[in-house]
Amino acid sequence: MMMKSALFFILLLLELSACSPAAVEKEGLLWKITGKDIKQPSYLFGTFQGIGIGADFLDSIPGFYDAFNSVTQFVGESSNPFAFLLPKAKENSERDYGELYMPTDTTYRDLLSESDYQYLDSIIRLSGIPSGDAFFKTRPYYLWIMINSIKGDEFLQEIFGKAKSDFMDFYLFRIAKRKGYEVKGLDSPEMESKMEKLRYRSEEEPPFPRSLQESVDTLMSKVKKIDRELEEFDKSDIIEFIQNVKDAYKRQDLVELENLNIEGVKILKTISKKFSVTNSMDNFLGKELDLSKERVSSWMKEIPELISNQPTMIGVGVGRLCGKDGLINLLRQKGYQLENVK
């Protein structure tokens, strides 16, 4: 589960399939949209959907804040960019996996050896969570979700590095609301439901045993297994790859980002093989590819009306911009003029 979550975050950065084999534009993150029935210019911006480059980078993009301050509406991929942090699928966990809390007369100390208890306790407390005791009130499956998230965050911070400021998408939504802009998302509720089902439901993940002792034993087995795998895993190639992606983004090099997209898919498959999730990852990549194409197609049905009604900033992952199937080319095909803001 942890590796699927971590690989999905890398996949967000890559924006699988958005960059098709032939590049249309060489460079540019910010594009001015004019023509057709537009009375005032709108803008298309490619965000960095990873934790290695934060919102502070916006200061270095020529004309960005002039463009942002000239619009009255901000449109992102989702109307709630924070939703993926607490996916709806997890809301159904109690229905699927039973009660959330441990029995009042039973603790993890009763079910674990002292060494195993201290092992789990160290994971929670060393993560920086101040109230570790509260986590031990939850049953093993839910504790596994928490530890899984902690391990995933540690893995991602090691390969991405830590940004000095907020995620770009979160920041743009926040300041747009602060300025009183209309804030909308391109994804329909139906599309968001499809994405949630694909990205967060672990069909290969069997339920934890109902027996409390067996469930605790399963938890320990999973945590120790993933720790062994992470310790043995050589992250050097992926760290180098992520740095190349960050550098290409900072150069606003769409062609290089497109090339890295292809390389990134190969790396994802190599990692999935290492963690014995090859079949599920291949299946996931195929479904993600189909869903990506469907998403961009649905966006193109929404964008014309959005930009004709009022000046709008559209902020989506940079991978959605480039290639013959990217938004730059698709908007031009509809008769709009797109000019890179430099």
- DSSP for residue 326: S
- The per-residue DSSP string of 148-185 comes to HHHHHHHHHHHHH---SS--HHHHHHHHHHHTT-EEEE
Which tens digits make up the pLDDT trace of 290-324?
Answer: 888 889 999 999 999 999 989 999 999 998 887 78
Position 135 scores a pLDDT of 67
- DSSP for residue 208: P
Angle (CA) 328-81-11 rounded to 5° is: 65
- Burial pattern 245-282, b for ≥16 Cβ within 10 A else e, equals bbebbeebbbbbbbebbeebbebbeebbeebebeeebe
Residue ranges of the chain with per-residue pLDDT less than 70: 1-25, 81-98, 126-135, 162-165, 199-207, 274-281
Which amino acid is located at 154 in the chain?
E
Helices (H), 179-277: 189-200, 212-232, 236-250, 254-274
- Whole-number Å distance between alpha carbons of 301 and 306: 10
- Whole-number Å distance between alpha carbons of 99 and 91: 12
Position 205 scores a pLDDT of 56
